[in-house]
Structure 1
Amino acid sequence: MATMRETYNVLLSAQKKRARGAPAYSIFVNRPVGRLLATLAFHLGWTPNQVTLVSALFTFTGIGLLAFAPLSVPLGVAIWLLLALGYAWDSADGQVARLRGGGSLAGEWLDHVVDAVKTSALHLAVLIGAYRWLGEVQPWLLVPIVFTIVANSTFFAMLLNDLLKQKRGVPTAIERGGSSTLRSLLVLPTDYGFLCLAFVTWGWFPVFQVVYALFALAAVLFWAAALVKWFRDMTAVDAALTSA
């Protein structure tokens, strides 16, 4: 049987292309950490679905603490670690699938469903935790509500983009590749892994309010620009197919 180093090198050589616009944390931090976790999981004999469930365990433990645990500085650090580890394990499940010869539709379905629940639950947990901390309804509570809408619709639109393009034989963002380092850095504020770092400030709630609101603003600006671009892309695909 291959050693862990040999398995790691296999993953490194078989690394999939970067999706166009993939943010920096996901590329330069989360994917390498996920590769290490995938190597470990493979040698433990775990299946991709088991890795997905481990990811969910870390993520939703952090989300639960965010919503219901007493607010403190150590808690914020713990939430960040749990969310970051959940994200890294989320990167590992696909890599384990590649080591085992390929994934399954059921596994891909499970992965996307967990991601969809996480996308909404994180910001709703912020809403609950913030209300418990503030003790009353305040205008700032609109921030996690807006963030929930934006994050959820962005996630849905990205999946729909790939689904519709694949249906019509058009290369997806991952198939096209070509994400530059500069582009990855520019979209860093929209990176889920980078957002996880904001929860380090959860114990300093006034600081967190500002940091989280800035992330929300970045998400809204990206969402608005991306929706316009994606609609134009779909219009262009329609035009190309009509003229073919």
Structure 2
Amino acid sequence: MAQRPSLAEIRERTYKRRDAWWTVWLVDPLASRLVWLVAPWRWVTPNLLSLGAFALGLGAAACFWQAEYPWLLAGALLFHLGFVLDCMDGKIARLNGTGSLFGSWLDYVFDRLRVVTCSLALFGGQWNHTGETYWLWLATAVIFLDMFRYLNALQMQKVKLTMKENLTAAAEAAGKPMEYAEETDDEAPLDEEASKIDVHGDFRARFRGFLSFRNFLLRQRIRAHVFSGIEFMMFVFIVGPVIGQLVAVTIVSGVLLLAFESLLVYKLWTTTRTYHRRLAVL
């Protein structure tokens, strides 16, 4: 059995620099201690934890289908525990160096399948219990929003990578090699540095009032994208069932997710406009 790392070492080596507030406040404190417990056992691999998270998701779905409140509570608990395991797989991979490209694919696919399965079970169970068809519309909306959120994130990352590659290549071709200012959600200074290619300054300049709130979040290790896909899932599959307000929580969560995704789209739009100006002068 390998030597057990300290909790401080686990936090330093496995915590993301920025993460969702749900993860930072409600998951990492438990997940880090569980990682401390299982880290010496090398048979506890990231892929095994991903499989365990998916199995707990299936258990949550089975509980959600029963539709009655005690079962909804059990489903919410299993869903949360599944998310804890889902966070542990990345921590174990970073701590023990056991991550893999296949593991990344497995984790991503299982996450999406868990959302689809639990959506159909949670709202389908209510439809089966009440006969009201609006439950099926809610299930469709949740699956669509989750799909949109993650497809949008993948495409945004692709666009940002293309901008970085093109600007860096253009600067080198012009004999003005400069460092590309990475998007650090805004740890970059408001004033552009001559030694850097910065395409994010226009957005920051338009939202200066948001900077103090953003900086507070960053000090807590929380990203400025306050209501992301993680919070959306946790509210739909945990908060809604626990407080017994599935419809209201799902609708409010969907509106908040769309609002923050719209802000990201607007941010990307302003960034691409700045990108074209920077590219024209290099």
Instruction: Please state which band the TM-score falls in when normalised by the shorter chain.
Output: 0.7 to 0.9
- Report whether the alignment pairs 1:215 with 2:278: no
Q: Which has the higher helix share?
A: 1
Given that residues 58 and 114 in structure 2 are in contact (C-alpha distance below 8 angstroms), is that contact kept between their aligned partners in structure 1? yes
Q: Any idea what the Cα deviations from partners look like across 1:122-171, whole Å, max 9, x if unmatched?
A: 33333312211221324x54333222212211122123333443454563
TM-score, normalised to structure 2, is 0.69
**CA pair 225-27 structure 1, distance change in 2 beyond 3 A:** same
Given that residues 30 and 88 in structure 1 are in contact (C-alpha distance below 8 angstroms), is that contact kept between their aligned partners in structure 2? yes
Distance 1:153 1:31 in 2: 26
Please name the residue that 2:153 is paired with: 158
Where does the alignment leave 5 or more consecutive residues of structure 2 unmatched? Answer: 166-179, 189-213
- Report whether the alignment pairs 1:96 with 2:92: yes
Distance 2:215 2:234 in 1: 18
Distance 1:50 1:239 in 2: 48
Please name the residue that 1:29 is paired with: 26
Identity among equivalent positions (%) equals 21
Distance 2:137 2:225 in 1: 26
Q: Give, in angstroms, the shift of residue 194 of structure 1.
A: 4.3
**CA pair 163-172 structure 1, distance change in 2 beyond 3 A:** farther
Distance 1:185 1:80 in 2: 26
Distance 2:186 2:96 in 1: 22
Larger radius of gyration: 2
CA RMSD of aligned residues (A): 3.1
Distance 1:179 1:217 in 2: 25
Please name the residue that 1:187 is paired with: 226
Please name the residue that 1:39 is paired with: 36
Please name the residue that 1:134 is paired with: 130
* Amino acid of the structure 2 residue aligned with 1:200: V
Given that residues 59 and 78 in structure 2 are in contact (C-alpha distance below 8 angstroms), is that contact kept between their aligned partners in structure 1? yes
Distance 1:123 1:243 in 2: 49
Given that residues 24 and 185 in structure 1 are in contact (C-alpha distance below 8 angstroms), is that contact kept between their aligned partners in structure 2? no
Given that residues 49 and 93 in structure 1 are in contact (C-alpha distance below 8 angstroms), is that contact kept between their aligned partners in structure 2? yes
The answer to which of 162-171 and 78-87 deviates more is: 162-171
* Amino acid of the structure 2 residue aligned with 1:220: L
- Report whether the alignment pairs 1:143 with 2:138: yes
- Report whether the alignment pairs 1:63 with 2:61: yes
Distance 1:60 1:9 in 2: 33
**CA pair 126-237 structure 1, distance change in 2 beyond 3 A:** farther
The answer to which of 79-88 and 34-43 deviates more is: 34-43
Aligned residue pairs total: 233
Q: Give, in angstroms, the shift of residue 41 of structure 1.
A: 3.0
Where does the alignment leave 5 or more consecutive residues of structure 1 unmatched? Answer: none
* Amino acid of the structure 2 residue aligned with 1:215: S
Q: Give, in angstroms, the shift of residue 179 of structure 1.
A: 6.3
Distance 1:30 1:59 in 2: 16
Given that residues 39 and 96 in structure 1 are in contact (C-alpha distance below 8 angstroms), is that contact kept between their aligned partners in structure 2? no
Given that residues 120 and 148 in structure 1 are in contact (C-alpha distance below 8 angstroms), is that contact kept between their aligned partners in structure 2? yes
Given that residues 7 and 32 in structure 2 are in contact (C-alpha distance below 8 angstroms), is that contact kept between their aligned partners in structure 1? yes
**CA pair 101-189 structure 1, distance change in 2 beyond 3 A:** closer
* Amino acid of the structure 2 residue aligned with 1:58: L
Distance 2:139 2:46 in 1: 32
Q: Give, in angstroms, the shift of residue 239 of structure 1.
A: 4.9
Q: Any idea what the Cα deviations from partners look like across 1:17-74, whole Å, max 9, x if unmatched?
A: 433xx432111221222222222332332111111111111122212332x3x22222
- Report whether the alignment pairs 1:81 with 2:80: no
